[in-house]
Amino acid sequence: MNAGAWGREMSDVTESITLLTPGGAVEEKKSPGLPFGHRRLQLDPGTVIIKGMLRVSRTGKKTLAAVVEKMNRRRRETQPLDLPSAGSVFKNPPGAAAGRLIEQAGLKGRREGGAQISERHANFIVNTGGATARDILALMEIARRRVYEETGIQLEPELQVVGEDG
């Protein structure tokens, strides 16, 4: 995974990774040249990361605490942290924000079973109680279809769907 937030991602700080390949070999890969993409690290199926070396910088405890508090405050203000979710559902298309597109399509608060497009941030689908995978997938399809109909923009899932419905 190439997790990221607010313009930074794991690829920015990863120096190297040590892998266990499906064949049992241990390999080290160094940056640059690691196969990072948008929100992913392209590895062969069955490969396991067994070690990672990250590049960090020294900073004072107070400075670091202030940065962390600013990020946490921003999350509390903009994300639905009071209900379970899997985070951002769709990737932001070039020049747009998926949440804004879903909101402009009038879907904030839309429910399907126990799942709901969050009223706080429309790129989150929350579990209001008893949501099933089918409920969540239905809301994803509704959002994709409506945004495409209204804007011509095809939303691409950020979530990786696995299983029978995947």
The Cβ of residue 88 has, within 10 Å, a number of other Cβ atoms equal to 19
Task: Return the structure tokens found at 125.
Answer: 């689908």
Catalytic residue among 16, 39, 40, 120: 39
Catalytic residue among 88, 103, 110, 146: 88
Q: Is 91 helix (H, G, I), strand (E, B) or coil?
A: coil
Rounded Cα distance, 13 and 55, in Å: 5
What is the b/e burial string over 10-46, where b = at least 16 CB atoms within 10 angstroms of the residue's CB? bbeebeebebeeeeeeeeeeeeeebebeebebebeee
11 is catalytic: no
Contact between residue 123 and residue 89 where contact means Cβ atoms under 8 Å apart:
yes
Rounded Cα distance, 157 and 136, in Å: 12
39 is catalytic: yes
149 is catalytic: no
Q: Is the dihedral of CA 40, 46, 51, 53 positive or negative?
A: negative
What residues are annotated to the active site?
39, 88, 158
